Amino acid sequence: MSSALKNTNIASLALEQLRDAIIIVDGKDCIVSINNAAVKWLGRPDNLQGVSVFEVLPEPDTFRSYWNLPNAVLKINIPKNNKPAWFEVSITQLNREEHTLSARVLVAHDITQEQGLLESELRRSEQLSLLEEVGRQIAESFDKKEILQHSIDAVVNRFGYAEAAISLLTVDNMLEVTAIAGTQDFGYRPGFRQGIGKGIIGHTAAIRKTYIAKHVATDPYYFSNDEHYGSAICTPILSDKDLLGVLYVESVEANGFDGQDVTTLETLSNQISASLQRASLYSKSQEHLLVMSTVQAVSRVIISSLDLETIFATVVKELKESFGYTHVSIYLLRDDYLHLGAQVGYPLDMLIHKIHISQGVTGRTIKSKTVHFIPDTSKEPSFLRADNNLTSEICVPLLKEGNVLGTLNVESDANRILTEKDVELLTTLSGPISLAVDNARLHAQVKEMAMTDAVSGLSNRHALEQILTAEVERSRRLGHPLSLIIFDIDSFKAYNDKWGHPAGDTRLRATAKMIQNILRKYDIAARFGGDEFAIILPNTDEAGAFEFAKRLQSSARASTQEIPIENKGVSGHTLSIGVATLPKNGNSVESLMLAADHAEMKAKRLGKNQIFLASNLNNNESD
């Protein structure tokens, strides 16, 4: 066999072993070589050699627009089985001699998983923005229809759903469409009524739980005037256990909703519920201006803020200043204890920070889940006295769907006698406060998801940059050192190509767990992107960071039974590590990240499985 033929066979065999789709075309754009992965990608099992590549490429016009660009890279979606399949395609021109092109090489790499994670993070960000936008828009309104329409419009404008509607419960126990919007007109209008138990909306009202129809065409509860093939989600709007209405959203896509959508729409439902309760209270008590001005101030903070400290501080302050209560406090239930959330008026030396549920009036309130009004505290043996001048107390449970979240406590002396009117006011306020507590919890979950990398469970790049900005400012202000480590997993692409992407994800998670095992209390780790990670080391100089990097390197080496060859890493296990320190290698976020990144690249160029300090970079390498 000739040497040329042997080399050709070896090259062809090598092409067939690659997971990426590879097509080689001549100067006339005809296919001269194609591997099995490319045949499968194109979906053309016939012999394609000699065929014009534009006859078989998907979206040929898109490829033509990139064809003559040097080293072009494009991203393209080629759906498979009605599911998106994203590919990154590089077009490399070969052997250009005196403006004569001899060949091109097309390499298509499957990036569906990466694209899916990116889209998931973007969707999380949009969901968080929706909650914040609706909170701002409805915080000032006392008009029910305006509150509902603002909420529905925001949902449709953010996500382009075919239909979104809110139906409120009427006095005759019917569900009536009060606000509706969408990119399509399904024929329903405000005023349309249906009974509880009828349709998805009626079914959701009956069970008082979120309901998802993955395929409305086959869903047993769905009804419509014409045929639809998408999906729907429906969540009840509740005031404690009482039904106020139902929020309904329909998408043209089947399986268009997931657990994250459930959390977002349930949070939105809580916001709407709080606003509706506030509007209802306003309409009933408009004549009582002092009461309403206080309720408005408190409710505005509850609706527009998702920070419990801000909400609680505002509530206790407004109640004391507006109604002259001697002491006001809010306690949150955690395990078997009530923990002080906010207070005003209590003597500091008599302040009770923690109360067991077996103690006092608050304990009885928790157990009974009912309001306790003590007109004369001198006759109440279980009263926990924080002030010898107190004469009366009202303790209101904070409830969400029958679960106790905490208590709202008001105590007064003889100069401000508590009455049943105060009981009524505090009971009314307890609803929005309870929703605020639950809303803040749900919002924290959404926010955590938006700042967390889905694969590794570490912080994502966005979170890392925010934390690094704060740490750089703190280090410069206090004069403390700050170190940043950036590293990537050696030959990770080769590991993925050999073992597949699921195995690659497993290695990423194992690397993340390894990092967490050696982190100190105040260190922050993040997945920077792809197989690249970053670690912020507060109050750590270069020597300390180098020692940390050595522990990291040793842990990585211990994760494989292969013995690394000198100046050569083990694919998927060993690390190329760059270390930079503030202020030695940079005095800003940008300069510190750049120095660490360059040090990492230097470690990689030295043969991988290396640690390199940014201080050892020469001027050319650090530019």
Q: pLDDT value at position 583?
A: 92
At which residue do the structure tokens 């006011």 appear? 425
**pLDDT tens, position by position, 272-310:** 888 888 888 776 665 466 777 777 777 777 777 777 788
- Which residue would you say has higher pLDDT here, 299 or 186? 186
Q: Summarize pLDDT for 61-83 with one digit per residue, the tens.
A: 999 999 988 889 999 888 887 77
Domain with CATH 3.30.450.40 in the chain: 116-281, 298-446
Are the beta carbons of 530 and 470 closer than 8 angstroms? no
How many percent of the chain have pLDDT more than 90? 29
Distance from C-alpha of 150 to C-alpha of 135, rounded to nearest angstrom: 10
Mean pLDDT, the chain, integer: 84
For the chain, helix (H) and strand (E) counts, in that order, are: 17, 22
Of 356-365, 463-472, 476-485, 570-579, the one with minimum mean pLDDT is 570-579
pLDDT tens across 238-284, in order? 988 799 999 999 999 888 888 888 888 888 888 888 888 888 877 66
- Kindly report the three-state secondary structure assignment for every residue of 177-228: EEEEECCCCCCCCCCCEEECCCHHHHHHHHHCCCEEECCHHHCCCCCCCCCC
Would you say residue 99 has pLDDT above 70?
no
Q: Percentage of the chain surpassing pLDDT 70?
A: 88
- 313: enclosing H helix or E strand: helix 308-323
User: Which H/E stretch holds residue 476?
Assistant: helix 461-478
Secondary-structure class of domain 461-622 per CATH? alpha beta
- Strand 31-34 relative to strand 532-538, pairing: unpaired
Spelled out in words, what is the top-level CATH class assigned to the domain 3-110?
A: alpha beta
Q: Can you give the pLDDT at residue 49?
A: 87
Instruction: Kindly report, residue by residue over 528-546, the tens digit of the pLDDT.
Output: 888 889 999 998 999 999 9
166 bridge partner residues: 179, 247
Contact present, 306 and 338 (Cβ < 8 Å): no
**Residue intervals in the chain for CATH 3.30.70.270:** 461-622
Q: Of 50-59, 347-356, 439-448, give the range with the top mean pLDDT.
A: 50-59
Domain 298-446 indexed as CATH 3.30.450.40: yes
384-423 pLDDT, tens digit per residue, is 766 667 888 999 999 988 889 999 999 888 888 898 888 9
CATH 3.30.450.20 domain locations along the chain: 3-110
CATH hierarchy code of domain 116-281? 3.30.450.40
Rounded Cα distance, 215 and 232, in Å: 8
Sign of the dihedral defined by the CA atoms of residues 444, 448, 454, 458, in that order: negative
pLDDT bracket for residue 8 (50, 70, 90): very low
Encoded tokens for 574: 């060993």
**Residue range 12-27: average pLDDT?**
74
Q: Which pLDDT tens digit goes with each residue over 512-521?
A: 898 889 998 8
pLDDT band at 552 (very low <50, low <70, confident <90, very high): very high
